[in-house]
Amino acid sequence: MVVFVAGLSIGLVIEKARLISSEQNNLEQKLELSSLQVQQLFLDTHSINDCDSIQNVIESNMDGLDQSMKRLIKYKKSAMINGGDFDLNLRNYFITELQYLLISEKIEKLCDTTTVNILYFYSRLEESDVQGYVLDFIKKKFGSQVRIFSFNAEFKQEPMIGLLIETYDLKQFPALIIDTKTFEGYTSEEEIAKEICDNINNMSPYCL
């Protein structure tokens, strides 16, 4: 009994430390987003066309956001009593990701870039895990030519995710929106790569 209580206490301490770490990461991501928005406003106000700089900042910030979100999801799965707090942090991450999506779409129009945005909606199905691994590989191959925005289709706490699902009329998960084309169910690496290559006019060695 003593061993059990001690183990439980240690587990709760670790969980609390993870929650504090997640909150700190969340704050850092919000600050990065605010900084990016100020930079964009400055460039717009002074009619400065510095697309490369903004693109690089988005890419760097999105990478940090993705890593933080993956850690948070992993922590939540093992949470004993703070599941609700982890959900609040996760909702914050999803909102931040949505803001990056809107900025990315705006920059794409202003700068006439060849970056392809992929919206990835996942569920608890095993297929979603496999799809996630495929997308990680796609990102490694195409780098900054692709931006992946991941959303839990079952996360009801953030209404905007439901609005996106309704807007794209998604019925089956995992699901992908590549540019404006919808893929429901598991989508192979070859199919995703082909769609990306079509959107970037084959301007990648992986399109050959």
Q: In terms of domains, do 107 and 55 share one?
A: yes
pLDDT at 68 (0 to 100): 77
Q: SS3 for 148?
A: strand
Residues 198 and 145 sit within 8 Å (Cβ to Cβ)? no
pLDDT at 187 (0 to 100): 97
pLDDT at 19 (0 to 100): 54
Choose one of 61, 89, 113: the last residue of a domain. 113
Q: In terms of domains, do 67 and 132 share one?
A: no
pLDDT at 117 (0 to 100): 94
Residue type present at position 193: A
74's tokens:
């992993």
Dihedral angle over CA of 198, 104, 62, 81, nearest 10: -110
Q: In terms of domains, do 94 and 193 share one?
A: no
Choose one of 98, 113, 128: the last residue of a domain. 113
Q: In terms of domains, do 138 and 85 share one?
A: no
pLDDT at 182 over 80: yes
Q: Which domain holds residue 51?
A: 1-113
Q: In terms of domains, do 46 and 133 share one?
A: no
How far does Cα 11 stand from its chain's mean position? 28
Please, is 45 exposed, middle or buried when counting C-beta atoms within 10 Å of its C-beta (0-12, 13-18, 19+)?
A: exposed
pLDDT at 80 (0 to 100): 44
Domain CATH for 33: 1.20.58
Number of domains into which the chain is organized: 2
pTM: 0.76
Domain CATH for 136: 3.40.30.10
Residues 152 and 97 sit within 8 Å (Cβ to Cβ)? no
pLDDT at 25 over 70: no
Terminal-residue alpha carbon distance, the chain: 63
Q: In terms of domains, do 94 and 149 share one?
A: no
pLDDT at 148 (0 to 100): 95
pLDDT at 121 (0 to 100): 97
- Where do the DSSP E strands lie in 55-204? 116-122, 146-152, 175-178, 181-184
Strand pairing class (146-152; 175-178): unpaired
Residues 152 and 203 sit within 8 Å (Cβ to Cβ)? no
Q: Prior bond to 205 cis, omega within 30? A: no
With the C-alpha atoms ordered 64, 70, 75, 76, is the resulting torsion angle positive or negative? positive
